[in-house]
Amino acid sequence: MTEDTKALKIEAARAALANVEPGMKLGLGTGSTSEEFVRLLATRVAEGLEIVGVPTSIRTETLCRELGVPLTTLDETPELDLTVDGADEIGPGLALVKGGGGALLREKIVAAASRRMIVIADESKLVEALGRFPLPIEVNAFGLRATMLAIEAAGRRFGLTGEIRLRMADGKPFVTDGGHHIVDASFGRIPATRAFADELNAIPGVVEHGLFIGLASLAILAGRDGIRTIDA
Ligand code: 5RP
């Protein structure tokens, strides 16, 4: 990541922080942009801001603990005021592709439990159609090959072809915080429709996919010309 991109991520995170009010229950996203948000939030917490956060990954949880951000769980606090998270792609209607960091399952559960979700990103994440970034799909390890074939077939039913790849890390299948694997589907242009989302969710081995439809309420995008916001 260039220094410029990092600076833009920090600007987007800073703008999102203006939406945080005392007493809020927050969902805390995963990834480099969310990390900048957590760092800025921690500074405000150190100054006396009272909030509580639900992290969307072990990585975010660890960072929050290091920085002294108070945490809770969704079991203790099942309804949240606001989630702030990054995205791999932001498309029309604020449909998102998420999961580049492998945290999509917890990210989606937390976003769905929140009254509002603000997506923060540098402007390169804004796209006219989703799909340049391969769609991450979290799958159960059991029957992996059959599940991958079923994902391929689901894509074909929507006119989509492309490589379906098991995500690897250090020569082994990547393992999510939930103990599952990730399949990255390079379908090309993804239809951001509930029909396609439902088709993927109907495959028994699919735990969840990274297509987020109707969850984000606001996008905060930082670019060279400043901050731009897009409402859902
Ligand atoms: C993790 C995610 C991230 O939000 C997404 O990958 C964006 O990451 P970054 O802010 O590092 O660009 O979905 O699962």
- Shortest CA distance to 5 belongs to which of 225, 224, 228, 220? 224
Could you give the dihedral angle defined by the CA atoms of residues 113, 127, 229 and 97, in that order, rounded to the nearest 10 degrees? Answer: 10
The model scores a pTM over 0.95: yes
Instruction: Say if ligand 1 is within 6 A of residue 176 CB.
Output: no
Best of 34, 119, 177, 220 for a ligand 1 pocket test (most atoms within 8 Å of beta carbon):
34
For residue 94, give Cα distances in angstroms to 90, 91, 111.
6, 5, 13
For residue 192, give Cα distances in angstroms to 3, 93, 126, 176, 177.
32, 9, 14, 24, 26
Instruction: Say if ligand 1 is within 6 A of residue 103 CB.
Output: yes
Neighbours of 154 (CB within 10 A): 21
- Shortest CA distance to 135 belongs to which of 56, 32, 211? 211
CA of 159 from ligand 1 middle (Å) equals 27
Going residue by residue through the chain, which has 232 residues, state the pLDDT in tens, using 9 for 90 and above: 787 999 999 999 999 999 999 999 999 999 999 999 999 999 999 999 999 999 999 999 999 999 999 999 999 999 999 999 999 999 999 999 999 999 999 999 999 999 999 999 999 999 999 999 999 999 999 999 999 999 999 999 999 999 999 999 999 999 999 999 999 999 999 988 899 999 999 999 999 999 999 999 999 999 999 999 999 9
Q: Could you tell me if 110 and 177 are in contact, meaning their C-beta atoms sit under 8 angstroms apart?
A: no
Q: Provide ipTM, 2 decimals.
A: 0.98
Q: Whose CA is nearest to atom 1 of ligand 1?
A: 101
pLDDT tens-digit readout, 42-83: 999 999 999 999 999 999 999 999 999 999 999 999 999 999
- pLDDT in the model for residue 3: 76
Ligand 1 atom nearest to CA at 102 = 14
Ligand 1 atom nearest to CA at 29 = 4
Instruction: Say if ligand 1 is within 6 A of residue 122 CB.
Output: no
Please list the active-site residues.
Answer: 107
Q: Whose CA is nearest to atom 7 of ligand 1?
A: 87
Question: Rounded CA gap, 207 and 127, in Å?
Answer: 26
